[in-house]
Chains A and B, each alone.
Chain A
Amino acid sequence: MKIQRYEDMGAMELDIIREIASIGTGYAATSLASMLGSEVRMTIPEINLLGYSETIDKMGDPEECIAAVLTQMSGDVEGIMLFLLRLDFINEVLGKMLGKTVDSYEEMTEMEISVLTELGNIIISSYANAISQLAGIRIKLSVPGVSVNMLGGILTVPMAEFGYVTDKLLLIDGQLLVNQKRLNSTLLMLPEMESLNVLMQKLGAVYEG
């Protein structure tokens, strides 16, 4: 079945996406673990199809400050990967990698921000690599962009990107747990519609055996 709108997806399609996301998040967790030298676990990815305002409500307060790393996917799968980090997660990482922590987002200098960007880049790349290997497709990632600002403003970027195609966003959301602690980080994959069909085609067949 070809998906014309996100709303058309049935239980089987959602299962396939959840499977893809689990594998991607798993690889991301592994690479984070090797960078931090800590145990990293993951939650089972959640799949949500939400309108713009609902998306922001789900992710938090629109005016709340957050750090985000964004990469654009192109090639066989197009879309956006967005890695959102909150202060507790940032401090866990900075503590391990730089031996220091910060009290607020404003305190971060170029050094801290570049560490986070690189970390985000590696995590996103592991995620995308896992999917491309699994499906035998090619995914190209853009140079990552970073932003430390209001959550609402950051989320409008993927919304504007898909705004001409859909009024809803498909959020594929996995969380990473470091040393059993539920630290605040979210890895979002936002595939474009046509790419979703590519993934289904490649993986649906495998899935059904």
Chain B
Amino acid sequence: MVLSPTGASRSLAAVFTPIKSRGLVDEVCGRIEQAVETGLLTSGQRLPNETELAAALGVSAVTAREALSQLRASGIIRTARGRSGGSFIADDVLPSRERALAQLHELSRLQIRDLALHYQAIAAACAGVAARRSDAADIATLRSFIPAADDDPLSWRLALSEFLLEVAAIARSARLARELIRLQADLGTLTLLPCADTGYRGRTAVILGDVAAAIETHDPGAAETGVKALISATTDWLLTEQAKSY
């Protein structure tokens, strides 16, 4: 039987969906924001000028200029004129609780749940394969990403995302790793919120230990259950918090 192209083929519908690109300017801004978030670029530090930035990232000078002005508008950099002038990373640029809350309230409960489901599917697939492929060195690296209970929320958030990326690295699947990075970018600064809660930090620290143990003992089932629980802990916290705005 031949499928008629005029029939309601869902795969065909996707072909004709308009292509939206995030744009090069957004891409450059995203890179710089990421560099700030991970501590590579710090407050007060001077940024390269347009020409240098353009050359380093392989974009045109126009794109670099637009990106710098967009970063200035969103308060990530400040510009000083004169002899000691230039663009500098602003003083208060780290992801803030206020910004994360604003992001949370923009999302619907449905969006949060769906994102969590996708995140769980990818992370669980990584964890299952990681449990098959792990060696002693992998486990040592993985455990180094389990944060201490008294670390600050920012380093907790970073450690949690690095922990899951390490699970993907142990699974040794480039595709799953790329998907995980994309999902973490979609979650954005949201994950900062639960990390400020001692109860959440205590619960997740236990889960992280369980996941590492399951991957070490080559138990795919337990590893999958563990990472799913880790993501549920985050989503449940976010949904509880989001409900308070109604």
Answer whether A and B are interacting partners. Answer: no
